């Protein structure tokens, strides 16, 4: 009986860890998007610079979330970081779908964004 209850506590703890790491990643995303907006306003960045900045923001955000989940879990850090990057990407897709009611990117851009998010989270988990 205790084993089942202990397993439930571990699942609840991991779920809470994932939520904390996702919150960290999205806070970093918000801050960096704000900085990029200010740079766009003040410096008049080109479209290429804005796109590169968004890609960099994805990687930095998922890296920070992967780092946090790696520190919180302590074992199999790269897998937890990878999972966090995938969840981050899925939430980005759902938010985009909710706002635009369709996907705004082609399949190649979606695949690239997925790999960047998953890789950034995994790298953050490995470094932690």
Q: What is the pTM of this model?
A: 0.88
For 116-125, what is the mean pLDDT? 96
Question: Minimal CA–CA distance to 29: which of 128, 121, 110?
Answer: 121
Q: How far apart, in Å, are the Cα atoms of 36 and each of 22, 33, 40, 41, 50?
A: 21, 5, 6, 9, 8
Percent of the chain with pLDDT over 70: 95
Q: What is the dihedral of CA 41, 115, 63, 89, to 10 degrees?
A: 70
Tokens of 67: 């780092």
Q: What is the mean pLDDT of the chain?
A: 90
For residues 65 and 88, the answer to whether their CB atoms sit within 8 Å is yes
Q: Determine the pLDDT at residue 4.
A: 58
Of 70 and 45, more confident: 70
């Amino acid at each position: 009986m205790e084993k089942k209850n202990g397993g439930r506590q571990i699942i609840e703890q991991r779920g809470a860890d994932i939520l904390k790491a996702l919150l960290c990643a999205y806070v970093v995303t918000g801050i960096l998007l704000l900085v990029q907006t200010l740079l766009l306003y003040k410096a008049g960045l080109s479209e290429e610079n804005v796109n590169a900045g968004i890609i960099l923001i994805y990687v930095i955000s998922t890296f920070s979330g992967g780092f946090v989940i790696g520190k919180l879990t302590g074992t199999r850090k790269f897998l937890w970081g990878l999972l966090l990057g995938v969840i981050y990407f899925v939430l980005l897709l759902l938010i985009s779908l909710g706002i635009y009611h369709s996907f705004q990117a082609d399949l190649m851009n979606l695949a690239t964004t997925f790999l960047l998010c998953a890789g950034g989270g995994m790298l953050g988990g490995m470094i932690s």
